């Protein structure tokens, strides 16, 4: 990945060249990357697709100061500058557009396919004053493309691959943008379906660690007036894994009974932006649900295992209202009031 840091407008390596100006919103206002006085890496959506990144985790692995490890189905553990937490409150903030993704019982991040994105921003170091208590190590922002109010667009891709001594891998993805009322209303839809065939063999059979991921996203953009923009969005993220793909240190084989896991996320959000003469008002509202059903092998000793079914359900609501100065003096800021409900968690 050729990431762009805040100390340069452009980066060149060999015969490749990245555009000489990137606009970012790391400080919750649109600025040139070179003017942002924090450690940040920004990668545009065009570069992400050109480089062929499959998901956000692959991109983060190449970002300076970031370490990525796989978690349970559809999740990823991320360290920024060596700061991380397995349990309790997360130390790395994660945002999908304006949607904060964090649960006090789970620090893993969802698996997002790298498709139809505006850009990805990685903020290194404490960002608590801008992004809250869960950003001690840093903040990762995945920004998707908003609907165009004037241009029709349709695109799609498909790919297939093969794993040596394993099953095949395939993915289909597409995006559609339709202006409903020119310059006033538009809709954008994006979808991906990815299936990775397994490669682990066990007493349960061959290639037992299949992974399947489906992402659906819909956005509606409204511009009732020249100085008012409204964006409504809905997400569905779902990942299913047939079995764990590792062996415990005390054994030389995988777990002897089925241990499927899944991760189901549903999100509704709205962003309202009102431009004023010297400042802008932004309201961001989101409602997120998480469902983590799983089967865990329980060790009874002497090679005896029993399957234990479990399920974690969580719901959380977040509301942020902020003022962002837009005049030449900027008057400091941004100033924000944030309300976030503690996740309602149900364990079964």
112: which 2 tokens?
Answer: 């997002």
- Residue 284: the pLDDT is 92
Q: What share of the chain is helix, strand, coil (3-state, %, to 5)?
A: 5, 55, 40
3-state SS assignment for residue 50: helix
φ, ψ for residue 109, nearest 5 deg: -105, 150
- Tell me how far apart the 2 most distant CA atoms of the chain are, in Å: 73
For 49, list phi and psi in degrees, rounded to 5. -70, -35
Q: Are 231 and 275 in contact (CB under 8 A)?
A: no
Give the pLDDT score at 53: 87
Which regions in the chain score pLDDT beneath 70? 1-21, 24, 26-27, 29, 37, 70-75, 83-89, 103-108, 127-129, 133, 200-207, 243-258, 297, 299, 301-304, 326-348
Helix (H, G, I), strand (E, B) or coil at 29: coil
Q: Mean pLDDT in the chain?
A: 78
- 0.85 exceeded by pTM: no
Closest to 120 measured CA to CA, from 72, 163, 68: 68
Query: For residues 220 and 146, what is the distance between their CA atoms, to the nearest angstrom?
Result: 8
| pLDDT at position 6 | 41
Q: How far is CA 327 from the centre of its chain?
A: 32
Q: Quick one: pLDDT at residue 218?
A: 98
In this structure, what token pair is assigned to residue 232? 């409504």
User: Domains in the chain, start-ordered, CATH in brackets?
Assistant: 4-347 (2.40.170.20)
Place of tokens 């919750």: 28
pLDDT of residue 100: 87
CA distance 279 to 334: 10
């Amino acid at each position: 990945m050729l990431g762009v840091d805040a100390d340069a407008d452009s980066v060149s390596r060999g015969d490749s060249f990245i555009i000489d100006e990137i606009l970012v919103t790391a400080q919750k206002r649109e600025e040139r990357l070179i003017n942002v006085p924090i450690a940040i890496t920004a990668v545009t959506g065009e570069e992400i697709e050109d480089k062929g990144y499959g998901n956000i985790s692959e991109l983060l692995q190449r970002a300076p100061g970031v370490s990525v490890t796989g978690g349970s189905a559809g999740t990823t553990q991320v360290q920024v500058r060596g700061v991380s937490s397995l349990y309790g409150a997360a130390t790395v903030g994660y945002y999908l557009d304006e949607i904060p993704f964090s649960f006090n019982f789970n620090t893993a991040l969802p698996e997002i396919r790298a498709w139809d994105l505006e850009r990805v921003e990685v903020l290194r170091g404490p960002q608590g004053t801008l992004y809250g208590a869960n950003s001690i190590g840093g903040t990762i922002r995945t920004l998707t493309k908003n609907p165009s109010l004037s241009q029709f667009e349709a695109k799609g891709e498909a790919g297939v691959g093969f794993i040596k001594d394993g099953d095949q891998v395939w993915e289909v993805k597409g995006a559609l943008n339709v202006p409903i009322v020119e310059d006033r209303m538009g809709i954008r839809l994006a979808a991906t379906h990815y299936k990775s065939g397994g490669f682990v063999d066990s007493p349960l059979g061959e290639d037992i660690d299949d992974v399947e991921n489906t992402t659906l996203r819909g956005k509606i953009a409204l511009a009732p007036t020249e100085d008012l923009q409204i964006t409504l969005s809905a997400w569905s993220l779902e990942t299913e894994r047939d079995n764990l793909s590792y062996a415990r240190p005390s054994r030389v084989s995988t777990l002897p009974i089925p241990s499927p896991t899944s991760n189901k996320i549903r999100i509704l959000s709205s962003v309202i932006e009102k431009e004023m003469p010297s400042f802008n008002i932004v309201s961001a509202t989101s409602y997120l649900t998480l469902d983590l059903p799983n089967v865990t092998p329980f060790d009874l000793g002497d090679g005896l295992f029993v399957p234990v079914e479990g399920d974690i359900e969580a719901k959380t609501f977040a509301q942020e209202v902020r003022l962002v100065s837009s005049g030449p003096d900027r008057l400091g800021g941004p100033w924000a009031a944030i309300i976030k409900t503690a996740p309602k968690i149900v364990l079964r």
